[in-house]
Structure 1
Amino acid sequence: MTLWDPRLATTGRPAGEPGLLRNFVGGRFEPSARTFAKISPVTGERVFEVAEADGSTVDAAVTAARAALRGPWGRLGERERAAVLRRVADELDRRFDDLVTAEVADTGKPMSQARTLDVPRGAANFRAFADIVCAAPTESFTTVTPTGGRALNYAVRKPAGVVAVIVPWNLPLLLLTWKVAPALACGNAVVVKPSEETRPPRRCWPR
């Protein structure tokens, strides 16, 4: 698993020009024929150009996700997947200040909220679902068969496959972790579509 890095996602541009945020597919940043401007909800300035995903980008993302399920990721057990989720949480902690800065620029919410809610809760979600998947019980019970024997019935949990995640505009990082973390914990591969119109709830607008 490769954690998204905005420093790698941005391409070089002339001084003073916004960077370009590219799509991340199959472990690589992909180009795009079309872009749109990410506008600061506070200042109205253009803070980034964002690569627009088209149908071919989505197809490539789904193909990469299916390949991950057929590859090493699909062969990991619960405890191994939990270890990956905890490493993600550790990386979120390590880059805490970077993520706070990104959240504030993206949503316009107060820095105090990003520091106490969005980023720490995002890391906590990965740890929480890592703990849950390791401790989740498996249901089993016995029944008497028509011939008088006894049968053991038990549940076998398997990944659903490729999971599509749509992230709302108001809590882009936190709500992403609430969806991506449990999907990965259960062994799925994930394709994420964030909102292109991220903005803070009304109560977060600067006065």
Structure 2
Amino acid sequence: MEYEEGRYLMISGIQHFKFCRRQWALIHIEQQWEENVHTVIGELMHKRVHDPYLTEKRKDVIIARALPVSSRTLGISGECDVVEFHKCEDGIRLYGHRGLYSVYPVEYKKGKPKLTEEDKLQLAAQAMCLEEMFSMPVEEGAVYYGEIRRREPVQITEELREEVRSMFQEMHQYYDRHYTPNVKYSRACSACSLKEVCLPKLGKTVSVKTYIGQMLGEEDE
């Protein structure tokens, strides 16, 4: 199956979807967004990395920034923070450059390595787009973490690829239905930039009508 360009979802959405399906739907379906200190720091970091007019060459490595990528089979599009093209014996040809090159995506994150796989999934999705665009395998990439100022290599395994396919398929189903999942409160909700929109503690304990009544009652006191 191939998707039309008008139905493409954002690659970065897989981070939100893995963290919380409701958060993803609030942002990508309902178009709601709130800034917090974490999102602001992350945005500033990406602005420093992204310069679509800058391509560097360091010895046998060509570095492209803010490279647009997409996949018809996954129905996604976005930008890679950095894609490095390493000169090799068996790779692709790049216009204006001699020799053959392999493809190596690098995603930038403000924090430190996570125990969960959101960052790896986003990188894997980018790698799968690059494979489709350049018709060559991308077996490894890296995530650079600003807090530790170091790259963490990531093997693009079949397990990661399968989870990427499964998650984007589910995301397309939600998007087509305009479906926003119900709240599932967890400790992670306290750090979410959308907690004031989502109202995760509301959950199933009280109705919206009751919650609003309680809030109005507090204001009258």
TM-score of the two chains, using structure 1 as the length reference: 0.23
